[in-house]
Amino acid sequence: MNRKVTTIFTLIALLLAAACQKETATPPGNENDWVYNPTPYNLEVPAFFPLLDIPSGNPMTVQGVQLGRMLFYDPALHHEGARACASCHVQEFSFSSDPEVLPHINLAWNSAFLWDGKVQGSLEDIMLFEVKDFFKADLGRLEAHPDYPRLFYEAFGEGGITYERAAMALAQFERTMASGNSKYDQVLRQEPGVFLTDQELNGYDLFFTEEGDCFHCHGGILFTDNEFHNNALDAEPEVGLGAITGSPFDRGRFKTPTLRNIELTGPYMHDGRYATLEEVIDFYSEGLHASPTADPLMKALPMGGKHFTGEEKSALIAFLKTLTDTSYTTNPSLSSPF
Amino acid sequence: MAKVFTLFRAGLLTLALALSFGCNEEEASGSLLHLNFNHNVGAQELGLNDTWYNSAAGHPFMVERLKYYTSNFALENAAGERIVIREVHYRDVEKPDTRTFEWKDVPPGEYTALSFVFGLDEVVNVDGGLPNTTTNINMEWPLPGDQGYHYMKFEGRYDLNGSGVIKPFNLHTGATGNNQNYVDVYLPFSHPMKLSGGTWQLNLSMDLNEWLQNPNTYDFEVFGPMIMANQNAQQVLKENGGSVFSIGAVEKE
């Protein structure tokens, strides 16, 4: 009887020891000096920006942001190593480049992504799409990398390299990509000696009244409503959001891009048909096309456009240029870590 | 036998006391009241994009978007006493999760009317008056000299006199030029609503036609697509706003 009890206790002790061993097991790669002790990241949100909803499952950490930054700039994320996120999302151009490439700026406040809204949800959702579906990332390539196994461990602990963790790291880095230091922001913050010129002020008045009526889609502190509109670009619009929803009423609806740093993110429209801001304003002034799904907010549609005067066009463009934030496009903490 | 009878009496007394406490507890507890915001156009249920409706001014119209605020909900009893909850509810017809305003812990009572503000009162309707969320930011009313938020965005297209000429309309209501323009909505119940705990569903319906016809005929063509700074149009809609809501079924779950 006593022997039996002893045997049972021994077995329990062995099981507990095994469990404890598992708890303190060597991290992947047998690197005993790897440490999982993430440091909380203090995210600075620009003044007047909306409350930021950070998923509880992906808290911001210094290690996570740094890993995301590396993945953003490293072609190793691509299944053939052909390109990095930064190949198309170029900092100098507010993390944009080609016509179809929407700028990466203040994406943390977005909930619908890509021109046609193919991905909706959180930054983690869009980044998972980018990693898994768009880049078709080869996890083996990352696992064989001299640094990434350790960097993933330091950011997320045990569990190795996964698509989800790569997306989480990228989402953390993207949350640091906040632009709120344009001339317009400085005026809002009433910084000494910063004022809008008369022309910029005229542009502001046009922008934020129904005379110009830009604000209904491009308004608020983010200069986008994060919704989808058919802005009367074509009489026979491309499918747009309709390709995702299957609804004929969504034909021609595309995501409203932010106007922050718009000066740097040409060419314009989802297909890049306009090379300059002047061409864009000309379109809203004289170039609207009726179609069954043209947005009611295109109030001047029956007249073909707003018919701005030359002065008004210049004023609008002058105001748009006050949204340029070069501290964002030169921010060293957003630049390549390599 | 006497002992059994005594025990039986004691049992009954305990049961009665327990039931009594149970009832008291229910009477004393507040109710959860769900105000459900539904929409119709005349006799038809509202459908976005796909349905054309007749308007009093003679222009068939369809609806693409409908977003609005209601606030300052109050229940009134026969003595005219009111309980008020100074909260704001945002409704976007495209987002089902905005259908219901949850009013928690409504005190027990016999209520004869519901009232609320359509839009926002002057206390809330100032720049930054609502929490700084992307939803509220999209409802801002940024006209220089004005303040606050759109009370309503009711947007669509109309067919000019049924001629096939399609034009946009945007019934954007809000405060402009020192006119607050919010609407006090007062809805008496056909039978008193006796709340005594539990969860209640109170169905409200907004008839969009009422914005266009009662007591004033609102003509899209007369006021045009831009009415934010047009107080005449705002006034017509304010006057029509008193009759747009009605109370439907009131049910306890």
Q: What is the pLDDT of residue B22?
A: 39
Q: Does A46 touch chain B (CB under 8 A)?
A: no
**Residue of A196, A230, A297, A303 to mutate for B, most B C-beta atoms under 10 A:** A297
Q: What is the pLDDT of residue A25?
A: 40
CA angle at A127 for the pair A121 and A132, rounded to the nearest 5°: 115
- Token pair, residue B139, equals 């409802």
Q: Does B163 touch chain A (CB under 8 A)?
A: no
Q: Does A192 touch chain B (CB under 8 A)?
A: no
- Token pair, residue A99, equals 């016509």
Rounded CA-CA distance B78/B75 in Å is 10
Is position B218 within any domain? yes
Contact: B156, A296; criterion CB under 8 Å: yes
- With contact defined as beta carbons under 8 Å apart, do A220 and B138 qualify? yes
> Which domains, and CATH codes, for chain A?
56-181 (1.10.760.10), 183-322 (1.10.760.10)
Is position B147 within any domain? yes
In which residue ranges of chain A is pLDDT below 70? Answer: 1-30
Contact: B138, A51; criterion CB under 8 Å: no
- With contact defined as beta carbons under 8 Å apart, do A335 and A91 qualify? yes
Q: Which residue of A has its CA nearest to B226?
A: A210
Closest partner residue to B226 (CB to CB) among A48, A226, A299 is: A299
Q: What distance in Å separates residue B148's CA from the closest CA in chain A?
A: 12
Contact: A208, B133; criterion CB under 8 Å: no
Q: What distance in Å separates residue A326's CA from the closest CA in chain B?
A: 24
Closest partner residue to B229 (CB to CB) among A210, A215, A222 is: A210
Q: What is the pLDDT of residue A32?
A: 79
Q: What is the pLDDT of residue B28?
A: 58
Is position B141 within any domain? yes
Which pairs with CB-CB distance under 8 Å and at least 24 residues apart come from A300-305?
Answer: A300/A213, A300/B225, A301/A232, A301/B167, A301/B168, A302/B165, A302/B167, A302/B168
Q: State the pLDDT confidence band at B181, using cuts at 50, 70 and 90.
A: very high
Query: What's the distance, CA A250 to chain centroid?
Result: 23
User: How many CA atoms lie less than 13 Å away from A87 in the CB half-sphere?
Assistant: 12
Contact: B132, A51; criterion CB under 8 Å: yes
CA nearest neighbour of B175 among B121, B236, B222:
B121
Q: What distance in Å separates residue A205's CA from the closest CA in chain B?
A: 7
Q: What is the pLDDT of residue B4?
A: 40
Q: Which residue of A has its CA nearest to B63?
A: A296
Closest partner residue to A210 (CB to CB) among B137, B140, B226 is: B226
Rounded CA-CA distance B227/B208 in Å is 17
Q: Which residues of A touch B225 (CB under 8 A)?
A: 296, 299-300
Q: Does A223 touch chain B (CB under 8 A)?
A: no
Q: Which sign does the torsion angle of CA B121, B125, B129, B133 carry?
A: positive
Cα torsion for A244, A249, A253, A256, to the nearest 10°? -100
Quick one: DSSP state of residue A131?
I
Q: Does B141 touch chain A (CB under 8 A)?
A: no
Q: Does A226 touch chain B (CB under 8 A)?
A: yes
Rounded CA-CA distance B120/B149 in Å is 8
CA nearest neighbour of B156 among B249, B246, B41:
B41
Q: Does B110 touch chain A (CB under 8 A)?
A: no
Q: Does B170 touch chain A (CB under 8 A)?
A: yes
Q: Which residue of B has its CA nearest to A52?
A: B133
- Which residues, in sequence order, are CB contacts of B244 under 8 Å at separation 6+? B118, B185, B206, B207, B208, B210, B211
Is position B150 within any domain? yes
Is position B10 within any domain? no
User: What are the b/e assignments for B61-77, b being 16+ CB within 10 Å?
Assistant: bbbbbbbbbbbbbbbbe
Q: Does A109 touch chain B (CB under 8 A)?
A: yes
Q: Which residue of B has its CA nearest to A296?
A: B168
Is position B1 within any domain? no
* B245-252 and B100-106 beta bridge pairing: unpaired
**Residue of A229, A295, A307 to mutate for B, most B C-beta atoms under 10 A:** A295
Transcribe A112-127 into DSSP letters. EESTT--EES-HHHHH
Q: Does A48 touch chain B (CB under 8 A)?
A: yes
Contact: A222, B137; criterion CB under 8 Å: yes
Domain count, chain B: 1
Q: Tell me the three state secondary structure of residue B150.
A: coil
Q: Does B169 touch chain A (CB under 8 A)?
A: yes
Q: What is the mean pLDDT of chain B?
A: 91
Contact: B64, A290; criterion CB under 8 Å: no
Q: Tell me the three state secondary structure of residue A243.
A: helix
- Token pair, residue B24, equals 């008291």
Domain that holds residue B248: 31-252
Is position B50 within any domain? yes
Rounded to 10 deg, the angle between the A148-156 and A62-73 helix axes is 150
Q: Which residue of B has its CA nearest to A227?
A: B138
Is position B5 within any domain? no
- Token pair, residue A192, equals 């000494």
Q: What is the pLDDT of residue A29?
A: 55
Q: What is the pLDDT of residue B173?
A: 98
Q: What is the mean pLDDT of residues B74-81?
A: 97
